[in-house]
Copies of this chain bind each other. A is one copy, B any other.
Amino acid sequence: MRIGELAARAGTTTRTLRYYESRGLLPAKRNGNGYRVYDEDDLKLLRQIRTLQDFGFDLEETRPFVECLRAGHPEGDTCPASLAVYRRKLDELDALIGELQAVRAQVGAQLVRAQRARDELAVEALAPGGPEPQCELGGILR
């Protein structure tokens, strides 16, 4: 099959396939008139790449999987190098998720603090002079 069909079958674009080839990730044979020609195995490689890309893997990180498949293994992720990428990615994800959760907590706390500061200013505007520390201010003031 030619580049357009492969792209369509994998749900991507010809530009993407040419880009992968330029990176040495998905080289293609050529027919008489210079057109790229692909087979079913290439589709399998491409699907492996796309799946990992959807997971957020860098293109370079997909290379071990592709090479594993090209080496004849029925699946791209059973080779040691692929497993190593999985593990490294898990570590990265854990680290990133942890950082994001920390940021979320900080931003959440800032939001609460800023809202409380607003409420206090509003109360002061209503009853100027001093604070009236009762309770449930948030509920009353909306």
Q: Chain A residues in contact with chain B, CB under 8 A?
A: 55-56, 75, 77-78, 82-83, 86-87, 89-90, 93-94, 96-97, 100-101, 103-104, 106-108, 110-111, 113-115, 117-118, 121
B108 near A90: Cβ-Cβ < 8 Å: yes
Q: Tell me which residues across on chain B come within 8 A of A118, comparing CB atoms.
A: 78, 83
B111 near A104: Cβ-Cβ < 8 Å: no
A106 to B89, CA, bound (A): 11
- The residue on B at minimum CB distance from A74 is B117
Known: A90-B104, A118-B78. A111 touches B83 (CB 8 A): yes
A111 near B93: Cβ-Cβ < 8 Å: no
- The residue on B at minimum CB distance from A112 is B86
